[in-house]
Structure 1
């Protein structure tokens, strides 16, 4: 595992294990780049995100973020999740139902004094176009508004990377399009590596720079979105992308 880059900006990940969840994945993400992980349920997408965030410890692996080693199983380094500057948005948003929008964001600003936490949280909610909704509980927010609160909370950790696990799965088509635009704006304003897990190829085409196709915990193909979609490297990749037999497949 020692051949992976250990310096420089961006994220470099290499993970391997045979059980209990098979993993054979290597990927890198540059600052300002969005890389999409695509594959069926159980293919390892969310496990990779959890390993990067420090919520799952693989048997073998190395994770380097902006030159800092977060994980190196060979030499026994495993930085705790709380010390990794990761912004992670879960599929369910995982907002605390008993806390208001601003209180949810303030939970991620525990290292600041109360006055600073309030100001920072309000600024983050304003950035996500949630002015006037600070005191609403999640149950009284729409799916799109809950998603924006979740993004604001992820950004409150002042992350070095952003991990998005099926971020648009719970919203309608119109809200999905608007949230895609907002994510694009956010990506330009805050250039950091972003990993997007999604089942929707439309999300991939509209948002991602590169994509990794996974099956059984293994990355089968990585490349620019247009290249992978046009020339899947195998029939398996073509099937996973739900391409027809008329689509080109490289031999």
Structure 2
């Protein structure tokens, strides 16, 4: 498809991968599986932080990676907003400055105003001048989301975005992200081990194991009609780990 994200990755060595999926604009795809199943590697490949052996990644018709054509667009040139599991904020910069760092495509005199608007969008009004160490885990996560959106991304990538916060904060952040997602006209790829994240945030689900997609479909289809006993076991494991 021309619009949205298409991902096809193949490699046998290092980290085995056999991945093929597409995410339409405004749609969220969750990648679920045990540790070592290739979820985060797939996300990093989309962002340009990992170069797979073979395959193709395209967003809105533009090839970001194509092994056959010798294309590997650097991460900084890909319009991908990535929220890391650890948030990866600059510790010496304020929340406002962290977001402004991602506004390279915005005129310098407009960056502060744009960053303030993004922080307000994630409910951080009044905390703009605090550094990461002065923010709670949930507040740091909101800064990371605002920074990802500052790149005006064509795709939003979320790597275990709630794993570092407590259960109560996780529920609140999940609600906020679900509300935000309704206003995002871009594909979203979510890596998670928590099926509550999947049911509340995703439209479709890919179950991964040892680098392969075992089953994909709507969240309801996969969770109520697992294609094999192995998939049912992996989903049950994810549910019990949450």
Matching of residue 126 in structure 1 with residue 120 in structure 2:
yes
The SS at the match of 2:98 is helix
- The higher radius of gyration belongs to 1
The SS at the match of 2:120 is helix
* Contact preservation (8 Å) 2:34, 2:234: yes
Q: Could you say which residue in structure 1 is the equivalent of 2:189?
A: 195
- Which residue of 150, 164, 167 corresponds with 1:173? 167
Matching of residue 21 in structure 1 with residue 15 in structure 2:
yes
Distance of 1:195 and 1:229 partners within structure 2: 18
Q: Could you say which residue in structure 1 is the equivalent of 2:240?
A: none
* Contact preservation (8 Å) 2:31, 2:206: yes
Q: Could you say which residue in structure 1 is the equivalent of 2:47?
A: 53
Q: Tell me the matched-pair count.
A: 237
Matching of residue 102 in structure 1 with residue 96 in structure 2:
yes
The SS at the match of 2:123 is coil
Query: What pairs with 1:34-113 in structure 2 (closer than 5 Å)?
Result: 34-113=28-107
Distance of 1:36 and 1:179 partners within structure 2: 17
Q: TM-score, normalised by structure 1?
A: 0.92
Distance of 2:125 and 2:109 partners within structure 1: 18
Distance of 1:10 and 1:57 partners within structure 2: 21
The SS at the match of 2:182 is helix
The SS at the match of 2:101 is helix
- Which residue of 235, 238, 241 corresponds with 1:241? 235
Name stretches of at least 5 consecutive residues in structure 2 with no aligned partner: 238-242
The Cα of 1:89 is off from its aligned counterpart by 0.2
- Which residue of 98, 103, 111 corresponds with 1:117? 111
Q: Any idea what the Cα deviations from partners look like across 1:46-105, whole Å, max 9, x if unmatched?
A: 000010001111110101101111111001111111110000000000011111000100
The SS at the match of 2:199 is helix
Matching of residue 164 in structure 1 with residue 158 in structure 2:
yes
Q: Could you say which residue in structure 2 is the equivalent of 1:138?
A: 132
Q: TM-score, normalised by structure 2?
A: 0.96
Q: Could you say which residue in structure 2 is the equivalent of 1:231?
A: 225
Distance of 1:160 and 1:180 partners within structure 2: 21
Distance of 2:128 and 2:201 partners within structure 1: 28
Q: Runs of 4 or more off by more than 6 Å in structure 1?
A: none
Q: Could you say which residue in structure 1 is the equivalent of 2:214?
A: 220
